[in-house]
Amino acid sequence: MFLIALAGCACSGYLFWTINSTPNKDDIESNIAQSAPVLNVDPLYVSMDTFTVSLKPTENESDRVLYIGLAVRLADSQSSITLDKYLPEYRSRLFMLLTQQTYETLSTDEGKNNLINNIQNELKKPLAFKQSINATDILINEFILR
């Protein structure tokens, strides 16, 4: 009988210790709220004028045209200022990239995804005076292959 009472006391002592030693949900939420302020940053988009380019001819396809409209999501306002200031240079880079594409490549989803990655990489390359932009995403708003 004494052993049963001792075991009961030990169990209740253990329960009391675990309940009091683990932080409750309110404490955890208040610690998170105090330690990490939430930054609510609005997205920053810059729309580019549409491009109409002749695609690179292949054996099977020639005289194909791409009409594409893009929006660039930027990480910061400095990137927006740089893109606006040097827009003709960035458009020229993209124009040269787009003219190297083929109809067969761009008619697949994989080709479109590769184009988005290539555009993003082209925009991230620094200019002559080391200015660069931080493009976090490229959004295609218009896309016509003819």
Per-residue pLDDT of 119-136, as tens digits, reads: 999 999 998 888 899 999
- Nearest-CA neighbor of 72 among 93, 96, 54? 93
DSSP 14-40: HHHHHHHHSPPHHHHHHHHHHHS----
Beta strands in 20-125 (DSSP E): 44-54, 65-74
Give the predicted TM-score (pTM) of the model: 0.70
For the ranges 20-29, 54-63, 115-124, the one whose mean pLDDT is highest: 115-124
Quick one: average pLDDT of 44-51? 95
pLDDT in tens, 56-108: 998 888 899 999 999 999 999 999 999 999 999 999 999 999 999 999 999 99
